[in-house]
Structure 1
Amino acid sequence: MSHISNILVTGAAGYIGGSILADFLSRPDLIATAKLHAVVRSEEQAQALSKLSLNVLSFKLEDEAAVAAAVEQNKIDIVIHAANSSDDLLVTNLIQALGRRRTTSGKRVYFIHSSVTTLFSEEAGWPYGMLKDTDSIYEREKELGGSHPIRKANLLVVDKAQECGVTSFNVVVPNVYGRGKGEWRKVSILIPALIQASIRLGKVHKFDVDGHPPATHISDLVALYGILVDKILQNEDIPSGKNGYYFAMAHRAPWWAYMQAIAKSLHARGLVADAELEIWPSDEAAAKALQFPAQFIRAMGTASGGLEPVNPRRLGWQPVWNEKAFLESADGEVEDVLELDTIRTGIFDKVMRPATD
Structure 2
Amino acid sequence: MPHNILLTGASGYLGGDLLAELVTTDLPEHGKLFALVRSSEQAGAVKQLGAEPLTLDIRDEDAVREAVLSHEITTVFFLIDAVSSASQKLFIKALGELKKKTGTDVHFLHTTGAKMFSSHSGAPIDRNLSDDDPELFAVQKAQRASLARFQQRYFVDGNGRGFGNPISIQTVAIVQAAKALRRVYRTDAGDPIWPVAHIADNTSLYVQILRTILTGQDPGHGKHGYYLASSGSVPWNDIYHAFAKVLAQRGVIDDATVQDADDEILQKMADALKCPKDFVAPQLGGVCTFVAEHGRKIGWKPTYKAEDILMAADEEVNRILQHLKA
SS in 2 for 1:214: strand
**Structure 2 counterparts to residues 271-290 of structure 1, below 5 A:** 271-282=252-263, 283-290=266-273
- Which deviates more from structure 2 when the two are superposed, residues 276-285 or residues 211-220? 276-285
Match of 1:15 in 2: 13
1:36 corresponding residue in structure 2: 33
Separation in structure 2 between the aligned mates of residue 338 and residue 329 of structure 1, nearest angstrom? 14
What are the within-5 Å matches in structure 2 for residues 92-171 of structure 1? 92-127=89-124, 129-130=126-127, 131-135=129-133, 136-142=135-141, 144=142, 146=144, 152=145, 154=146, 157-158=147-148, 169-171=149-151
**Distance across 1 between alignment mates of 2:256 and 2:107:** 48
Per-residue CA distance 1:93-127 (angstroms, 9 max, x = gap): 11111112112222111111112111111232224
Check the 8 A contact 1:187/1:341 in 2, yes or no: no
SS at match of 2:11: coil
| Whole-angstrom CA distance in 2 between matches of 1:47 and 1:293 | 37
Q: Distance in 2 between matches of 1:134 and 1:207?
A: 30
Cα gap change, 1:331 to 1:128, in 2 (>3 Å): closer
Q: Secondary structure at the match of 1:123?
A: helix
Please give the alpha-carbon distance, in whole angstroms, between the structure 1 residues aligned to 2:258 and 2:78: 37
> What do you get for the CA RMSD once the two structures are aligned?
2.1
**1:72 and 2:69 matched:** yes
Query: Tell me, what secondary structure is at the counterpart of 1:37?
Result: strand
Aligned-pair CA distance for 1:241: 1.4
Structure 2 equivalent of residue 318 of structure 1: 301
Partners of 1:264 and 1:38 in 2: CA distance? 39
- Whether 2:181 is the aligned partner of 1:184: answer no
Per-residue CA deviation, residues 60-105 of structure 1 (Å, 9 max, x unaligned), is: 2111111111112221010011111121101111111111211222
Q: Quick one: structure 1 residues 88 and 303, their matched pair in 2 at CA, closer, same or farther if it must change by over 3 Å?
A: same
Alignment match, 1:200 = 180
The answer as to 2:86 corresponding to 1:89 is: yes
Does the residue aligned with 1:80 lie in a helix, a strand or coil?
strand
Further displaced range: 296-305 or 53-62: 296-305
CA-CA distance at 1:8 after TM superposition: 0.3
Residue 307 of structure 2 aligns to a residue whose secondary structure is: helix
Cα pair distance change 1:188/1:139, threshold 3 Å: same
- 1:309 and 1:328 mapped to 2: Cα distance? 22
Task: Judge conservation of contact 1:71–1:98 (CA < 8 Å) in 2.
Answer: yes
| 1:257 and 2:238 correspond | yes
Give the whole-Å Cα distance in 2 for the aligned partners of 1:340 and 1:323: 24
Letter in 2 for 1:141: Q
TM-aligned CA distance change 1:293 to 1:75, over 3 Å: farther
Deviation of 1:318 after TM superposition, in Å, equals: 1.1
User: Given that residues 4 and 31 in structure 2 are in contact (C-alpha distance below 8 angstroms), is that contact kept between their aligned partners in structure 1?
Assistant: yes
Unmatched segments (≥5 aa) in structure 1: 147-151, 159-168, 344-357
Corresponding position of 2:280: 297
Measure the CA separation in 2 of the matches of 1:65 and 1:341: 38
TM-score norm. by structure 1 comes to 0.83
- Extract unaligned runs of 5+ from structure 2: none
Contact 1:194-1:290 at 8 Å conserved across structures: no
Q: Note if contact 2:8-2:36 (Cα within 8 Å) is conserved in structure 1.
A: yes
Distance 2:276 2:126 in 1: 24
Partners of 1:246 and 1:74 in 2: CA distance = 28
**In structure 1, which of residues 217, 230, 239 is the aligned counterpart of residue 220 of structure 2?**
239
Q: Deviations over 1:153-207 (max 9, x none)?
A: x2xx14xxxxxxxxxx211111111111111011010111211222232222222
* TM-score, normalisation: structure 2: 0.91
Pairwise CA distance, 1:129: 4.4
- Corresponding residue of 1:164: none
- Work out whether residues 43 and 58 of structure 1, in 8 Å CA contact, stay in contact via their aligned partners in 2: no
Query: Residues 321-345 of structure 1, C-alpha deviation per residue, up to 9 Å, x if partnerless?
Result: 11321101111011111234578xx
User: What is the identity, as a one-letter code, of the residue corresponding to 2:20?
Assistant: A
Following the alignment from structure 2 to structure 1, what is the Cα–Cα distance between the partners of residues 324 and 160? 11
Distance 1:122 1:266, change over 3 A: closer
Contact 1:132/1:307, CA 8 A, preserved across alignment? yes
Structure 1 position 132, deviation (Å): 1.7
Alpha carbons 1:263, 1:276 under 8 Å: kept = yes
Q: Is the 8 A contact 1:112 1:171 kept in 2?
A: yes
Tell me if 1:224 matches 2:222.
no
C-alpha contact 1:116 1:174 (8 A) present in aligned 2: yes
* 128-137 or 112-121, which deviates more: 128-137
Aligned length: 321
Check whether the contact 2:46–2:52 (CA below 8 A) recurs between aligned residues.
Answer: no
